[in-house]
Structure 1
């Protein structure tokens, strides 16, 4: 099982800096960067420029398909249009992901970081619709290069300063579903989020939140960590900051991500100290431990905690049940070999690889 290219601390710091840079671009230049997390995601992936180029290209293709094909046959606007853009982008990037599995095994990076990339083309396409492809690509390129420069300098300074950076982490052994089905889980999570909102008007904490809560479902202490961080983030932003500062839309979500990261890291440090390092909250999930609390807090501000809890629970258990049912079918028919947590060199081949043997 492969490790991260960057340590969790480096990934998180880059994500936070990406949110700050995106906020500055939006406030000063009135340019959106394809979502606050997109520049950081692309900067972390610049070691594989082809992957970054394909991601942006898929965003443009998604924009063309939605604007020139789908909207000609169906009226789309607002959240519904964004959902369609996410689904089209998810289908495109999922196809590329599955083709890649024909030649390589899934890694922990795929599970914990690059799955954000499943949504990136749809997010990029959404901003292309709002401000045009040229302005969006320019903003994404500029912010990604700024963050890549920051990442390079940061990695150079850390050893000189004698900083003790946490080593790359492996995924926790107790998982809610087979990690090789992460694409399936994300797809189901998006569909469940859309269904709960359209049928009963409940938001589920963002498109991919249910996929990761289902992933952590056997580890109640990790779920408690996410919910506690989300509640504290909501209290700080909604009850303390918003009465004193006008926040809405992207600005509000970005502030929630920043404070969610600070609060989450603080809780994590306390947990490490009290357990002598035996418990690492959200072990191996890196970006998700920063994003999930902010997404939950954002929806709680929109519709209240009770409705958010119901919507998130419905989507999470839907993902958990559907993904494990699919896993059972694949295992029962021999299309997928059992996964062995913690293996290094003798891991079973992924689904697509098994099918070609």
Structure 2
């Protein structure tokens, strides 16, 4: 359990370094650590990214009919990601629920998509997560599915 927290903290440190060097956020400070810890379950990462895209899209549509900015926009994205996940699970759209990564992670990623764009966010997230994965492999932590 302790190692889990260490990877997330290391992810925050690497995210800060990456941001200072590039000016780009890797989809939030804590996100790369959580993604790196879930590399063994690619379906979970895919499901989370699908919820993120739905959250981002719906928040853009909501922005056409209401004023969304700052903390209000962030709160709406967090709540939308909860609602979308809940709706998917309640309607039975998935035969197997891969699970969402973290409670707040989808809202954080959607916020970064809105701030700096999808491509920049995903590329930055991939780079920092890749570095974390290499560090995890070096430490002997299983990273990829067997």
Cα deviation for residue 101 of structure 1 reads 9.8
Classify the secondary structure of the residue corresponding to 2:139. Answer: helix
Classify the secondary structure of the residue corresponding to 1:118. Answer: coil
Runs ≥4 in structure 1, deviation > 4 angstroms? 96-104
TM-score with structure 1 setting the length: 0.36
1:39 aligns with 2:39: no
Cα deviation for residue 84 of structure 1 reads 0.5
- The 5 A counterparts of 1:344-355 are none
Cα deviation for residue 102 of structure 1 reads 7.6
Following the alignment from structure 1 to structure 2, what is the Cα–Cα distance between the partners of residues 144 and 130? 20
| Contact 1:63/1:125, CA 8 A, preserved across alignment | yes
TM-score with structure 2 setting the length: 0.84
- Aligned counterpart in structure 1 of residue 41 of structure 2, from 27, 45, 48: 48
Root mean square deviation, CA, Å: 2.3
Q: Taking structure 1 as reference, are residues 103 and 59 closer, same or farther at Cα in structure 2, changes over 3 Å only? A: closer
The equivalent of 2:5 in structure 1 is: 12
Q: Taking structure 1 as reference, are residues 19 and 97 closer, same or farther at Cα in structure 2, changes over 3 Å only? A: farther
| Contact 1:26/1:32, CA 8 A, preserved across alignment | yes
The equivalent of 2:17 in structure 1 is: 24
The equivalent of 2:133 in structure 1 is: 148
If asked which structure has higher relative contact order (CA below 8 Å, sep 6+), I would say: 2
Following the alignment from structure 1 to structure 2, what is the Cα–Cα distance between the partners of residues 120 and 31? 18
Which residues of structure 2 form unaligned runs of 5+? Answer: 142-146
The equivalent of 2:124 in structure 1 is: 139
Larger Rg: 1
1:126 aligns with 2:111: yes
Figure out how many residues of one structure are paired with residues of the other and give that number.
139
